[in-house]
Amino acid sequence: MATPSDTFRQSVAFAVLTGRDAHGKPALGPVATARARVQPSRRLIRDANGNEQLATHVVYTDAPLTLQHRVWLPGEDVADFNRARRPVAVDEFVDGSGAVRFRKVWF
């Protein structure tokens, strides 16, 4: 039986935001990569605070991404923090046994 992760043919890089230095510059944890499916999307969604935002991409992945992560889409320079995207919303999809199978991350 095919699983959703069988369609993850691209990869994204991600790192968790761990804090900020004295000058306000963000500090990130180690950068990791994960298999994903990246789709351009123009959809009005509600963020975690209930505000409406226009999402430009949706990423399907089995990586444990949260709103605290920063994500670089395929082909973007991981060394450039300004190219990292901040998730607007994260939807988790759970299988019949209660385990999270994959996440739908909106940007």
Instruction: Tell me the pLDDT tens digit for each residue of 21-58.
Output: 888 888 899 999 999 999 998 999 988 788 999 999 99
Query: Which of 59, 62, 60, 68 has its CA nearest to residue 29?
Result: 68
Contact 66, 52 (CB under 8 A): no
If you average pLDDT over residues 72-85, what whole number do you get?
94
Domains in the chain (CATH in brackets) are 4-106 (2.40.10)
Q: What is the pLDDT of residue 11?
A: 95
Q: Which two tokens stand for residue 25?
A: 């510059």
